[in-house]
């Protein structure tokens, strides 16, 4: 009989790495295998310190600007996507580059181009300064796309041509928040062109649904993810909206034990850029103080995988 207090763990599934993150990390690893270290990566390949540090140890060098990449060095663009000017600059300098943009983000980029070519002004639902937003804005001429962050933005917007609008969204948003913004846009601008399929990626939607599924049975929820990870922050918000105390931690060592005061059932999930290793690390740390009983709650099974870019398929 353990003298440790009991703690039930409800572990959300799906959680952690999505197909786009898997692919992006693999692109960096294969580029290092193919070219040898160092391989430069423009911006964090995914928003997770553990992943970035692991790749640094293998020979990846992370930079914020292409100017920091020496002539002749291989460079990888992050999963969040980049403005068109970045690969154009890389080409002009003769750099050997690989684009690790998530295919679901690339799909939004192509939609943006098609809408602008058709003469539509795009309302883009997203967060100021997020690399995915910067990348999408950089696909189309300046002035052809307007950022909408909130329901209030959607209500107050006065477009020059309200009958010639379209909207797109960042892939890592809150499903509920985005639905509220979209409802306002559709009410105010009945002729607005909506995307054929939901832009919010399957992994973001699935992880949010999985948190909702466990929240009612939990006293608190821990989300493993980075503070600059949009999809991880949304998971905290989803749990809180369900009426549960929630916190974001990067590693098990970040856990404040006081957070668990009065908690009998703890929910655990991980953002799309957090590896499963960090979930196991957290469970192991909890087991040092509690008699842990864990149960996985699966709401859907993900089977999506994305192809590697040409030139790396052989290396794989």
Residues marked active site are found at 132
Instruction: Compute the distance between CA of residue 257 and CA of residue 92 in angstroms, rounded to an integer.
Output: 53
Are the CB atoms for 278 and 252 separated by under 8 Å? Answer: yes
CB neighbourhood size of 5 (10 A): 11
Q: What is the DSSP letter of 165?
A: E
The separation between CA 130 and the C-alpha centre of its own chain, rounded to angstroms, equals 10
Categorise residue 15: left if φ over 0, alpha if ψ from -120 to 50, beta otherwise: beta
Burial class (CB in 10 A: 0-12, 13-18, 19+), 243: exposed
> Quick one: which H or E segment has residue 211?
helix 202-215
Are the CB atoms for 261 and 279 separated by under 8 Å? Answer: no
**Cα angle, residue 238 at apex, residues 102 and 79 outer, rounded to 5°:** 10
What torsion, rounded to 10 degrees, do the Cα atoms 134, 82, 173, 246 define?
Answer: -100
Question: Strands, DSSP E only, in the chain?
Answer: 6-13, 39-42, 60-63, 75-77, 97-99, 121-125, 145-148, 165-169, 220-224, 245-249, 265-270, 291-298
Instruction: Compute the distance between CA of residue 79 and CA of residue 106 in angstroms, rounded to an integer.
Output: 10
Instruction: Compute the distance between CA of residue 160 and CA of residue 119 in angstroms, rounded to an integer.
Output: 13
């Amino acid at each position: 009989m353990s003298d440790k207090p009991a703690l039930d763990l409800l572990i959300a599934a799906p959680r952690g790495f999505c197909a786009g993150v898997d692919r992006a990390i693999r692109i960096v690893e294969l580029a290092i295998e193919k070219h040898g270290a160092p391989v430069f990566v423009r911006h964090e390949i995914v928003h997770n310190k553990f992943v970035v540090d692991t790749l640094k140890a293998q020979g990846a060098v992370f930079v914020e600007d292409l100017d920091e990449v020496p002539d002749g060095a291989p460079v990888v663009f992050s999963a969040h996507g980049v403005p068109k000017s970045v690969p154009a600059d890389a080409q002009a300098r003769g750099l050997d580059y690989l684009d690790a943009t998530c295919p679901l983000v690339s799909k939004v980029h192509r939609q943006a181009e098609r809408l602008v070519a058709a003469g539509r002004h795009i309302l883009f639902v997203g967060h100021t300064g997020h690399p995915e937003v910067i990348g999408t804005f950089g696909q189309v001429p300046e002035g052809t796309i307007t950022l909408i962050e909130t329901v209030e933005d959607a209500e107050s917007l006065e477009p020059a041509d309200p009958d010639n609008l379209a909207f797109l969204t960042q892939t890592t948003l809150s499903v509920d928040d985005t639905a509220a913004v979209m409802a306002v846009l559709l009410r105010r601008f009945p002729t607005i062109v909506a995307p054929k399929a939901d832009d919010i990626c399957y992994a973001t939607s699935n992880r949010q649904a999985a948190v909702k599924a466990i929240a009612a049975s939990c006293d608190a929820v821990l989300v493993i993810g980075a503070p600059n990870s949009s999809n991880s922050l949304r998971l905290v918000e989803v749990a809180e909206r369900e009426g549960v105390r929630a916190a974001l931690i990067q590693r098990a060592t970040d856990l404040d034990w006081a957070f668990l005061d009065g908690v009998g059932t703890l929910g655990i999930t991980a953002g799309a850029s957090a590896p499963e290793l960090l979930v196991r690390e957290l469970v192991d740390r909890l087991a040092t103080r509690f008699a842990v009983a864990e149960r996985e709650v699966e709401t859907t099974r993900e089977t999506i995988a994305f192809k590697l870019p040409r030139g790396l398929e052989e290396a794989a």
